[in-house]
Amino acid sequence: MGCPSILSFTIFSRWKGLPLASNLPEVFRIISTESTDTRRIQFGCIRFSWQSSLFFSRKITALSEMNSRPQNSLRSKALPIFGVLLVFGAIIGGATIGIEAQAGAIGDYSYQGPRNVLELFTSQGCASCEPADKLLSSMARRPELLVLSLPIDYWDYYGWKDTLADPAFTARQRAYATARGDRQIYTPQTIIDGVVPIVGSDAEKIGEVLHQRAAAANSHWIPIRLSDSGSRVHVSIGAGAEESASVFLLSVDPVSTVQIRRGENAGRSATYTNVVKRIQKIGEWDGSVRDIDIPKPVDAKNGYVILLQRGDLARPGEILGAAKTPGL
């Protein structure tokens, strides 16, 4: 649904003498489902069709008054004019759909993207992790945030082996602590942008840090363009300050629900958001524009993210940019 529908709404409103406001809810419902670039075209269609139909409506009224003829008669003769407008709208709409189809074919995920990354280190064997898991899930709805769950394995000896945990995630949490020099390792722990550790359930503190880091993100956040052909992943990284950073691809499951049968959370059903399955380094960045093209990992079929981060897996640093596939 695109420009033809919107043009029909606006022209029909003018033809029937109805205010556009009566159809606005439906028009904007249509627009809200489209991409940002498509919306720009559609709003242009609205402006064109509304102004055009208003112009011809006024002309018809003027001619009617001059010739003392019923407006309905003149309107019947003006139908071809409105038909031309609708055809023009269909052409624009077809072009819009064509553009969208081409973008959809390559899966271009180059929208504004996240401005902050939150990594929650959690565990099915952690009695205090449930509030943090729920908080992370609620924050996933914010488009400016990229949230990730990384289940660790050091609670596995408390009666229940975490079914999603990976020793690599435990190593990542320890590497963060070593890089910071505070050696603070616990659950639930959220690391913001690779540098700020916070108790994962402390919504107020997390909000404060995100607010503080907003200015920093605007000043140095590196744009990343991500596209997916189905079998390959293409990453385009913008230029920034002269520094080196690593490029990581994280395979992610958007939602995972687990029935916990033993341990401190025995009998509970836990739902995790954006669960990381694997972290792999796919390239380096030296501050200049960089393109990376790789085969799409098999375990990334449900979604994946790209992180541009100082340091490496052994000593991760600040995250400088990120991109994610839809639904994460």
Per the omega criterion (within 30 degrees of 0), is the bond before 188 cis?
yes
Residue 277 sits in a domain whose CATH number is: 3.40.30.10
Tally of domains within the chain: 2
| 277 Cβ neighbours under 8 A, 6+ residues apart | 166, 250, 251, 252, 253, 299
Say what the pLDDT of residue 104 is.
37
Across the chain, mean pLDDT equals 78
Helix axes 203-220 and 130-139, enclosed angle (nearest 10): 40
Query: Angle at the Cα of 206 (from 273 to 272), degrees rounded to 5?
Result: 10
Let me know whether 217 and 275 are in one domain: yes
Instruction: Note whether 90 and 119 are same-domain residues.
Output: no
- The predicted structure's pLDDT at residue 7: 45
What is residue 280's predicted lDDT score, i.e. its pLDDT? 97
Kindly state whether residues 87 and 147 are assigned to the same domain.
no
Residues 305 and 161 in one domain: yes
Residues 53 and 141 in one domain: no
The string of pLDDT tens digits covering residues 235-262 is 999 999 878 999 999 999 999 999 999 9
Alpha carbon distances (Å) from 233 to 230, 302, 303: 8, 14, 11
**Nearest Cα to 55, choosing from 11, 22, 93?**
11
What number of other Cβ atoms are within 10 A of residue 158's Cβ?
17
pLDDT tens profile 179-198 = 999 989 999 999 999 999 99
Residues 93 and 10 in one domain: yes
Shared domain for 189 and 291, answered yes or no, is yes
* Cβ(195)–Cβ(182) below 8 Å: no
Q: Which two tokens stand for residue 11?
A: 């022209």
Please answer whether residues 325 and 109 qualify as being in contact, where contact means their C-beta atoms are separated by less than 8 angstroms.
yes
Do 309 and 206 lie in a common domain?
A: yes
Instruction: State the residue range of the domain holding 18.
Output: 3-106
Q: What is the pLDDT of residue 94?
A: 45
Q: Which of 106, 133, 156 is the last residue of a domain?
A: 106
Q: At residue 70, does pLDDT exceed 80?
A: no
147 and 99 part of one domain = no
* pLDDT number for residue 243: 81
Residues 6+ apart with CB under 8 A from 102: none
**Beta sheet of 196-199, edge-to-edge order:** 196-199, 189-192, 116-122, 145-151, 269-285, 245-259, 304-311, 316-324
Same domain, 291 and 226: yes
Name the domain boundary from 44, 79, 106. 106
In terms of domains, do 143 and 88 share one? Answer: no
Q: Name the domain boundary from 54, 89, 106.
A: 106
Identify whether residues 316 and 222 lie together within a single domain: yes
- Please write the tens of the pLDDT for every residue from 100-117: 333 333 455 544 689 999
How does pLDDT run across 168-183, given as a tens digit for each residue?
999 999 999 999 999 8
